[in-house]
Chain A
Amino acid sequence: MVLILFIFLFNYLQIIPAMITRIFLVFLLAGLMACQSNKRKLDAGDFEVSDSVAEAAALRVSEEAMEEIVQNVSSPIEMAALIKELGVPFSTKYLATTRHADDYNSNFQMALNLGVFGADLGYLNMYSKTSQVTDYLTAINKLADGIKVGQFFDFTTLKRLATNNENIDSLLYISVSSFNNMDDYLRENNRGHLSALMISGIWIEGLYLVTQVADAKSDPLLTDRIGEQKINLNNILLILNNYTSQSGFAEFIALMNELKAVYNEIEITYEIGEPETKEMNGMVMIVQNEKSIVHITEDQLKNITAKTKEIRNKLTSI
């Protein structure tokens, strides 16, 4: 606004000819329109609701909202971070092979394995295994191009960061944000079925990773995390069931339902408690005292591990 006044003042003083002022205004308008075009994902999910409504009544989750939830269900980071924090050494034996990347021909295979490799990339990045990252970046780039979302995967920058063993934080950040951007784009362009597959791929590979580690090194945190996936599996199935008419979905849902049947035996109970606010390292920390408790036996854990392995191997084979 200051600039507009500036131009008009100079125009008034006849320092700038009127024609130039007009040209300036045309560019100004164009600039503002360009600004508006950056709103691509800004309006999605926005709606008006009063605070009092949200506080007073339980939120009802619509199908549309469930779709959003599933986008957050599987993070390529959280499973890998848990394993690393437990002091489990890195192992390439948990990773899916990239040898078949060129052989995934259908959109179904490409989207699903894009997710699988995304989870593996998260695992590699968490352990700073940059020398092995390049193979996965190449495979992801190929599959992302295959389903026409390659423009959101910054292959060149990621490869440079990995090759030069540069800033791991940037490598992690760009990797995760690339997957978020691909996911947003797919959902916003009526290709939600591919987004659902990608998310499922991340989830199943993350579960495979954590079950394999738990098989080798038992830990209550790992067991807990595996059992809690019952909640996420239900959310994923809710979404997948929206796309039963899409190619490959019926068989995939049938496989996931086999896993659900194993998970149905697991019980999750809840303990009520009020959140506490503490200060830690100069930052506010809210500690939740409402707890979920997973009741899972060794046999159930073994069954989940076996079924997850079976599904994951089936999905990643050609």
Chain B
Amino acid sequence: MKKVYLLLLFLLVLGLPASFCQPPEVMMDSCAAAAGEDATYLKDFVVILPAATDQNNPPIARFPLVLSKSNIYRFSICNSRESGGMAVMKLYDSNRMIFSSYNENSGEEFNPFNFMCQKTGIYHVFISFEDGKPGQAVGILSYVTK
């Protein structure tokens, strides 16, 4: 009987890491695949953010990137199962927000969203969790075939 328990225990332990965390590579693969057939993966933004200690100043991950004129880019974001809240992806140009994957006022989610770039230059992707909750997420930047 002891052997049966030991076997059961061993199987449970083997499955534990998968149930407690999702490897970023796995999340990245599935998130990139979900971007759509017309999208070609370019870059990923992997984040793990702690819970906000101050609700007015939630943790945010920032990624600077260059986007090129005449290209259509797709921005998509995927939460890990364990995340406390929904991950929000925001696109900024040098000094202002262009778009957010979540509208706080209406509660609408826009994930993924496309961006038709008309100005080559430096942009920034910001990723945070709604209400400053902790979580893990992967953002994907893809090139959209015209």
A residues near B (Cβ < 8 Å) are 3, 16-17, 20, 23-24, 27-28, 31-32, 34-35, 38-39, 41-43, 45-51, 54-55, 57-59, 61, 65-66, 68-69, 72-73, 75, 77-78, 81-82, 85, 169, 172-173, 176-177, 180, 221, 224-225, 228, 231-232, 235, 270, 275, 277, 280, 283-292
Describe A's contact surface by its main secondary structure. helix
By a CB distance below 8 angstroms, the chain B residues around A49 are 57, 60, 62
With A20-B5, A45-B61 as known contacts, state yes or no: A292 contacts B126, CB within 8 Å.
no
B residues near A (Cβ < 8 Å) are 2, 5-6, 9, 12-13, 16-17, 19-21, 23-24, 28, 32, 37, 40-44, 46-49, 56-66, 68-72, 91-99, 110, 112-122, 124, 126, 128, 136, 143, 145-146
Contact, CB under 8 Å: B119 / A288: yes
Contact, CB under 8 Å: A173 / B41: yes
Contact, CB under 8 Å: B59 / A54: no
By a CB distance below 8 angstroms, the chain A residues around B58 are 48, 50-51
- C-alpha gap A224/B117 in the complex (Å): 13
Residue of A nearest to B117 (CB): A288
By a CB distance below 8 angstroms, the chain B residues around A48 are 57-60
Residue of B nearest to A276 (CB): B116
- C-alpha gap A226/B1 in the complex (Å): 73
- C-alpha gap A64/B70 in the complex (Å): 28
With A3-B12, A16-B5, A31-B13 as known contacts, state yes or no: A72 contacts B43, CB within 8 Å.
yes
B70, B94, B126: which has the most chain A beta carbons within 10 Å?
B70
18 A-B residue pairs with Cβ-Cβ distance under 8 Å, sorted by A, are A3-B16, A17-B5, A24-B13, A31-B16, A43-B48, A45-B63, A48-B60, A49-B57, A50-B56, A78-B143, A225-B68, A228-B68, A231-B121, A284-B99, A285-B113, A289-B118, A291-B69, A292-B120
Q: Indicate which residue in B32, B69, B113 contacts A228 across the interface (CB closer than 8 Å).
A: B69
